[in-house]
Chains A and B, each alone.
Chain A
Amino acid sequence: EDQVTQSPEALRLQEGESSSLNCSYTVSGLRGLFWYRQDPGKGPEFLFTLYSAGEEKEKERLKATLTKKESFLHITAPKPEDSATYLCAVQARGTYKYIFGTGTRLKVLA
């Protein structure tokens, strides 16, 4: 069964303290892996798409990487405005379904 697991569930960082969020997936052939940011009560906001192992994407303080079994979202020198829930989703080949993980709630303290 296709599955996405994110860890940790919650993370508290001091401003400037870099860290990584993990997304482990089990799918029968990966079509794409997607990262989103979600603020409370709002719709998820698209961040990155990764398609193949070894691929990396960067945007401001965020960098996403992909291996054959997991993806990492690295946050460098985070700021309080980076506080949000970060969601990972995968789409398997042969299906149009997207499977979302339950997310990592990030809190960055000033």
Chain B
Amino acid sequence: DSGVTQTPKHLITATGQRVTLRCSPRSGDLSVYWYQQSLDQGLQFLIQYYNGEERAKGNILERFSAQQFPDLHSELNLSSLELGDSALYFCASSPSPNNEQFFGPGTRLTVL
């Protein structure tokens, strides 16, 4: 157990809908990262926050947004969902932006 928690574990929804994924980092970690992992692709970096501020952006679609709250938990919002958004979404945390990351168990999103 890495100490990073993600909810929900599974999410099934329809195209065009909007969902919110939640992540609580390890105690003491200030950085939070979001990744997407599809069957045909590796881990794709989406976005990183440090102590509430956005620090780096990867291949995150405009339909996706994220934020980190004052208590350091983070949410990833996915809207206008498409079939291709079906994937495992991982959250990771680290003490600072330059440390190794500790991953949560992931949220499996299925868009029907």
**Residues of A close to B101: CB separation below 8 A:** 34, 46, 98
In the bound assembly, the distance between CA atoms of A98 and B33 in angstroms comes to: 10
Q: Check A100/B106 contact, CB under 8 A, given A34-B100, A95-B56.
A: no
Closest CB-CB distance, A34 to chain B, in whole Å?
Answer: 6
* Cβ–Cβ contact B45 & A99, under 8 A: yes
Give Cα A33–Cα B97 distance, bound, in whole angstroms. 14
Residue interface mask A70-106, B partner, CB < 8 A = 1: 0000000000000000010101000111111111000
**B48 and A96: CB pair below 8 A?**
yes
Across-interface contacts of B50 in A (CB, < 8 A): 96
State A49–B103 Cα separation when bound (angstroms). 15
The answer to whether B42 touches A102 (Cβ under 8 A) is yes
- In the complex, A44 has a CB within 8 A of chain B: yes
Interface, chain B (partner A; CB < 8 A): 2, 4, 33, 35, 41-45, 48, 50, 55-56, 58, 88, 90, 92, 97-106, 108
Can you give 20 A-B contacts (C-beta < 8 A)?
A31-B98, A41-B106, A44-B90, A45-B2, A46-B102, A49-B99, A87-B43, A89-B43, A95-B56, A96-B55, A96-B56, A96-B97, A96-B98, A97-B58, A98-B45, A98-B101, A100-B42, A100-B45, A101-B42, A102-B41
